[in-house]
Chains A and B, each alone.
Chain A
Amino acid sequence: MNRLISSLAFVAAVTAGSIVPLPASGQGEVNVYTTREPKLIQPLFDLFTKNTGVKVNAIFIEKGMAERVAAEGANSPADIMMSVDIGNVLDGVARGVTQGVQSEALAAAVPANLRDKDGHWFALSLRARLIYVSNDRVKDKALNYADLADPKWKGKVCIRSGQHPYNTALIAAYIHHYGSAKAEEWLKGVKANLARKPAGGDREVARDILGGVCDIGVANSYYVGLMRGGSNEDQKKWGAAINTIMPTFPGGGTHVNISGASVAKNAPNKANAVKLLEFLVSNEAQAAYAKVNYEYPVRPSAQLDPIIAALGTLKTDQIDLTAIAKNRKQASELVDKVGFDQ
């Protein structure tokens, strides 16, 4: 038992020594909670620190970010909450963990349809939901989203889980354009065409096309850049096996989703938080978004990465983003109703 006591004492000592000090709430820091893996945008944070001297601490909380910030309440260290998908961004606002930010720089850089009028959220980058096709087995040059249900693709379509935010947002937009009855028919049709269970991530679509599992699939635009422009030799082959098509909705626009950010309601470093947001929509950072992560910038003047520019001109669907968030629950229910993931 003496040993037990001494080991307890040891553990207590180690714990005391290793307990991570809460990020200081003084000058020089900003704390980012993100549902998006922070390494994806680490180069941007590094650039910000270099420019301003403000250190960025980021923690990746994939699920339950808003819940954690809400529970932490007045003592939450969170300054900024970043997430992908408009639905997730608006969830934070609905949860009451954000605050409105008035900033001329933000208002000037981000088009009005890509931010909240009261400053509770701002889009930082855009991504288009594309169709990848096999470049040796598929000759089609133009397709729209509805075509995914065309029986000619039976057994040839790959897609990730219908419950993934990228897909629920797409389905929500489909509901907006066609109505829920047609959306349900469409989902049934797509399901009937599936080559395998909806699973994995977007990159698996390209990989499975190269592997002969499917001929056509749905995936986000920036993965093309990550695969073709990255350092992984396998993934370069996946990226080389596909052509991309920008599918359209009635009206000729392609579905886009956002990555976005809000300032936390109890942000201890609010000034730095606003500074970071303003930096993220600056010309310099927006160009980096495009270059590092192959996304479409929200700032219209920023340049695209050549790999993404080569995919063609993006004409975005003119739907109101909040309409996508509003239809999300229904989209998620339709996915279950048709047994899309089963």
Chain B
Amino acid sequence: MLRAFRNSGTPGWTLAAILAAAIVVSPIVALVAIASQGSGDLWPQLTAYVLPSAAINTGILLLGVGLLTGVVGVGTAWLVSTTEFPGRKVFDWALLLPLAIPTYILAYAYLDILHPLGPIQSALRALLGLSDPRSLYFPEIRSMGGVIFLLGFVLYPYVYLAARASFLMQSATALEAARILGAGRFEILFRVALPLARPAIVVGVTLALLEALNDIAATEFLGVRTLTIAIYSTWLNRSSLPGAAQISLFMLAIVTLLFLMERWARRHQRFFASGKRVQPPSPVPLDRLKAFGAIAACALPLAIGFLAPFAYLAEQAVRKLTSGGVSPMIWRETFNTVLYAGIATLFTLVVGLAIAYALRADKSGFASPASRVASIGYAIPGTVLAVGLLWPLAAFDNSVDAALRQWFGVSTGLLISGSGAALVLAYTIRFLAMSINATEAGYTKISENIDHAARSLGESSFGTLRKIHLPMLRPALGAAAILVFVDCMKELPATLMLRPFGVETLATHIYAEAVRGTYEDGSVAAILIVLAGLVPVVMLARVSRPAITPSTISS
């Protein structure tokens, strides 16, 4: 009887989920169509010279970024959530700040900072009394090591966020039991806390890896050739879009695998995350020496991932503002950035909520695969997504236009691809996974008995969602909104390709300056994008504390 009851009002939600999945999948279908046009004699050359090294580079990059974000993210999360030391409360939110810095801005800033002519090497030479730049050996940032270093220190907050939420949620009893049984702090960390937090950490690392894989501007700028770059040179230098689409699909397959691993990890976590509210472990005060170590361990990633590049950008921006002033267009660009990111965030949240609700309410078996498919957008690199979207959107626009011309004699032109709607759609597809994950995780905290009670008291499924779920989900939705918003603002490749005629955002502005080799002129826009991201990121730290909500993107 229960089954029939559950099925009664739900097909609408399932249909919505399936529709969302269909939209997400449309650019992939377009890619498959492009790829199937055939690429001639491309593959022997690709498999001989391009893919092996690109795949190895991509593998090393992901391994390095995974390790670095994992160690930094988990380490700092452990310190701020289980120990007490001076400054802990500040680090608690400040460690999230690198989220506000787009990777491409970081790359430009660090090439300047670490260049032989830059402040660090100049200061070192002055200190050592050297005059010739060549007499000082300094590691080159334009290398695989450099890219891993930079991406690791700017992407670790994804891991930090997930691990922190998990550590804070772990029952004090489990950790205290371990302590009573004689385990030392490290033993507790490695034998109890880490295994318990593992699924959350995997989620965080996966997000960081997908971001790293998606990055084009920074890796290309610093000379590391990944699969993403191989897609470009095939497309642009060999004039083979089909070949590029084929590599894209190959990469998508790899990423889907990563993604499935992430889902698989989350599946386990559901088991124990749906408990009642637990007593968070009380932080253990550290003695002076250890406290010093903890401060250093938290300050280092913050300094590398945020403070140094921010200070550098601020210095450049001040110089720019005092010397030549700034383009009056910048306010319009800021407005566009916030507007498109804002609209896309709202869409992403609403669609994500519908899908998560379908998953919960529908047991027909369709909602689950639909939600997996709808999540795949996060795995598609921005440019690939943009190419895949171009054709379905333009085809839609042109057929609407043709039909209306024929019937009513009016031309609608490029309804979607000519307006910001294309951009909003691209962002939504790209970041839907974040909102589905967060909402789904939030739902695990709401007992299904509540739904049953509401429904048996005569509330509709929409009413249940509106009156009961929404208030309870607010923290989870808030955290998701902030992550999606910040990511939309930073998004570059799809924005560059799909933005409507006459629309510039801060990201495209910065990139245009960088292309002209005048990225210091883009510093004002770079600072604005970081500042616009700062407020939400600080809010994220608050909203993601389990005292308020037991979950953010994970758990």
Contacts and interface: CB of A to CB of B under 8 A. Distances in A.
Given A72-B394, A75-B413, A197-B143, A212 B386 contact: no
Contacts of B511: 62
A1 B401 CA distance: 35
B53 interface: yes
A75 B398 contact: yes
Contact of B239 (A20, A39, A91, A212): A91
Given A4-B470, A20-B419, A64 B387 contact: yes
Contacts of A199: 142, 220-223
Interface in B400-430: 401, 411, 413-414, 417-421, 424
Contacts of B111: 200
A184 to B, nearest CB: 12
Given A75-B418, A161-B223, A67 B53 contact: no
A73 B133 CA distance: 54
B397 interface: yes
Contact of A333 (B49, B420, B501, B518): B49
Interface stretch (A175-183, A301-309, A334-342): A334-342
Given A63-B236, A199-B223, A20 B500 contact: yes
Nearest to B521: A232
Interface in A244-266: none
A8 B346 contact: yes
A127 interface: no
B342 interface: yes
Which interface class (under 10, 10 to 19, 20 to 34, 35 or more) fits A? 35 or more
A105 interface: no
B355 to A, nearest CB: 16
Given A75-B401, A198-B223, A200-B221, A61 B497 contact: yes
A207 B112 CA distance: 10
Contacts, number: 190
A18 interface: yes
Contact of B517 (A68, A226, A231): A226
A43 interface: no
B391 A71 contact: yes
Contact of A337 (B49, B391, B421, B466): B49
B542 interface: no
B137 to A, nearest CB: 11
B516 interface: yes
B373 to A, nearest CB: 24
A329 B346 contact: no
Given A22-B414, A71-B390, A161-B223, A15 B420 contact: yes
A1 B470 contact: yes
B485 to A, nearest CB: 13
A23 interface: yes
Interface in A59-93: 59-64, 67-68, 71-77, 87-88, 91
Contacts of B50: 336
Contacts of B419: 19-20
Given A62-B515, A71-B417, A332 B500 contact: no
Nearest to B222: A199
Given A77-B501, A333-B45, A342-B225, A19 B233 contact: no
Given A7-B346, A61-B496, A62-B515, A342 B53 contact: yes
Nearest to B336: A18
**Chief secondary structure at chain B's binding surface:** helix
B391 to A, nearest CB: 5
A329 B116 CA distance: 36
A57 interface: yes
Contacts of A272: none
A87 B237 contact: yes
A64 B386 contact: yes
Most buried by A among B111, B323, B413, B420: B413
B241 interface: yes
Given A18-B420, A332-B237, A39 B516 contact: yes
Contacts of B78: none
A223 to B, nearest CB: 7
A116 interface: no
Interface in B211-239: 220-225, 229, 232-233, 235-239
A150 B415 CA distance: 57
A203 interface: yes
A98 interface: no
A205 to B, nearest CB: 11
Given A75-B413, A77-B418, 6 more contacts: A4-B350, A39-B516, A63-B235, A68-B390, A342-B53, A342-B225
The 9 closest A-B pairs by CB, nearest first: A199-B223, A1-B466, A211-B116, A197-B223, A212-B133, A332-B237, A212-B134, A71-B394, A71-B390
Interface of B: 45, 48-50, 53, 57, 111, 115-117, 132-134, 140, 142-143, 220-225, 229, 232-233, 235-239, 241, 323-324, 339, 342-343, 346, 350, 383, 386-387, 390-391, 393-395, 397-398, 401, 411, 413-414, 417-421, 424, 462, 465-467, 470, 493, 496-497, 499-503, 508, 511-512, 515-518, 520
Interface of A: 1, 4, 7-8, 11, 14-15, 18-20, 22-23, 31, 37, 39-40, 57, 59-64, 67-68, 71-77, 87-88, 91, 94, 161, 163, 165, 168, 196-203, 207-208, 210-213, 223, 226, 231-232, 234, 328-329, 331-333, 336-337, 339, 341-342
21 contacts: A1-B462, A1-B465, A4-B350, A11-B342, A11-B343, A40-B516, A59-B502, A63-B383, A73-B394, A88-B236, A163-B237, A168-B237, A199-B220, A201-B517, A203-B517, A223-B517, A226-B517, A329-B238, A333-B45, A336-B50, A342-B225
